Amino acid sequence: MIEIERALSMILERARPRAAERLGLDQSLGRVLAEEVISDIDSPPYDKALMDGYAVVASDLRGGRDELIVVDEVAAGDMPCEPLQSGMATRIMTGAPVPRGADAIVVDECCQLDQAGGIKTVRIDDRGVRPSQNILGRGRSVRRGEPVFQVGRRLSAIDAGLLAEVGRTQVLIHPAPRVAVLPTGSELVPACDVPGPGQIRNSNGPMLCALVSSAGGQPVDLGIARDTESELAHQMNLGLQEDILILSGGVSSGDFDLVPRVLRDLGVEQVFHGVRLKPGRPLWFGVLSHAKGSRLVFGLPGNPVSGLVCFELFVRPAITALAALPQKSRPTIAARLSVPFRHTGDRPTYFPVGLVSDGDRTLARLLDWKGSADLRTLACADGLAQFPAGRSEYASNETVQVMLLERGLFGN
């Protein structure tokens, strides 16, 4: 057995960012940019009206004139025909190009159109018109040739919009790591089936796929493999095509815990088996050298809660590294225990807790957890309280660190 920190560093030493690829904006969300992005145009490309109203010469109105002749009308997508001269106005819609000679837009609310006698005039009730009012000048947002994003930026939805604005349909990014998920166990049936005698539903598969997505990976659901060498080898071979293969179950010391042996037969080199951790001790980790870059393989214990803890401590950081994202430790808060806690003290222990606010402090309520298979209780947890090894007794009111779960972050 190795310590948690040692296990994590052995994983991260082997987790290299995926090579950057030129991909469409539809795949850019959350990805890390591997190039500088430069604008190919001035944006906006023309002086642009920001409101519906009338384009005017501001000095006309400040000089006391309040009635202007309407000489043109321009909508978004049109080009103005007439340059504007003193005494004139152009009806203009939001997004349309401002005519030459105009330097302000007066909003509709301050304008009254008069069409009497076939001549259109507009009376303007605004003496405070300033030059540039309601106009975004050409290139005011971004200049042609100007960098808009640097290498290393994690792209957001807004960024996708700005990339399109500066002419990019594709960008060089580190793609989402592809993560195969393969639960193993002859007792497992898919969620759509009613379990027969001795069977349970595969809850780890959907949970792990969702965790992979939440970590920025692209899950590849491989269904279920029963505990036979041939079926495991067949399914594992599919999973070894991906950047990461996550297995669940079959890594302990039972007669049908075949996963480590089959992985070794497939050429996956074991890096470690066993971590000083509760729950999650049987964790297996190995690497397959592959022409297209090495594959990381995690054998998580089958118990759902053990699998979750191992995912958060070890798999999530690996996905983060392959995605070229900076490592961030999981959000952790200090909370006081609402009741005493006792554990064996031989391994660092993670225990599910609900968090309750009590004035200016946070209370950690230990859940009535019925062992590491108890997903039902875990679904009520806001976080996992951390109890280091070496001490087994904790009094109520003592402060502990609580690693927040996703649910805790969203607060639902």
231 lies in the binding site for ligand AMP (CB under 6 A): no
Tokens, residue 342: 């006792």
44 lies in the binding site for ligand AMP (CB under 6 A): no
402 lies in the binding site for ligand AMP (CB under 6 A): no
39 lies in the binding site for ligand AMP (CB under 6 A): no
Q: Between residues 250 and 286, which has the closer beta carbon with respect to Mg ion? A: 250
Least distance (Å) from ligand AMP to the CB of residue 302? 2
Give the residues across from 171 on adjacent strands.
Answer: 23
200 lies in the binding site for ligand AMP (CB under 6 A): yes
> 278-317 mask for Mg ion (x: CB under 5 A)?
------------------------x---------------
User: Hey, is 402 helix, strand or coil?
Assistant: strand
Quote the DSSP letter at residue 153: P
185 lies in the binding site for Mg ion (CB under 5 A): yes
235 lies in the binding site for ligand AMP (CB under 6 A): no
Least distance (Å) from Mg ion to the CB of residue 249? 4
Query: What number of chain residues touch Mg ion (CB under 5 A)?
Result: 4
CA distances from 351 to 207, 332, 344, 370 (A): 19, 14, 13, 11
Q: Between residues 45 and 190, which has the closer beta carbon with respect to ligand AMP? A: 190
CA distances from 149 to 153, 170, 196, 398 (A): 7, 14, 56, 47
Closest Cα partner for 182 from 258, 241, 227, 247? 247
Least distance (Å) from ligand AMP to the CB of residue 7? 18
Please, which residues have CB within 8 angstroms of residue 290's CB and are 6 or more apart in sequence? 240
Least distance (Å) from ligand AMP to the CB of residue 264? 18
User: Binding residue for ligand AMP (CB under 6 A) from 90, 133, 218, 252?
Assistant: 252
User: Distance between CA atoms of 222 and 215, rounded to whole angstroms?
Assistant: 19
279 lies in the binding site for ligand AMP (CB under 6 A): no
Least distance (Å) from Mg ion to the CB of residue 284? 13
28 lies in the binding site for ligand AMP (CB under 6 A): no
Sheet with 121-124, side-by-side order of all strands: 104-107, 53-56, 88-92, 67-74, 121-124, 111-114
> 75-104 mask for ligand AMP (x: CB under 6 A)?
------------------------------
Q: Is 368 exposed, middle or buried (0-12, 13-18, 19+ CB in 10 A)?
A: exposed
User: Distance between CA atoms of 83 and 92, rounded to whole angstroms?
Assistant: 13
204 lies in the binding site for ligand AMP (CB under 6 A): yes
Long-range contacts from 122-126, C-beta under 8 angstroms, 24+ separation: 122/54, 122/67, 122/68, 122/70, 122/89, 122/91, 123/66, 123/67, 124/54, 124/56, 124/61, 124/66, 124/67, 124/68, 124/89, 125/66, 126/61
249 lies in the binding site for Mg ion (CB under 5 A): yes
187 lies in the binding site for ligand AMP (CB under 6 A): yes
Q: Between residues 167 and 254, which has the closer beta carbon with respect to ligand AMP? A: 254
The residues binding ligand AMP (CB under 6 A) are: 183, 185, 187-188, 200, 202-205, 248-250, 252, 254, 301-304, 373
Interface contacts to Mg ion, rule CB under 5 A: 185, 249-250, 302
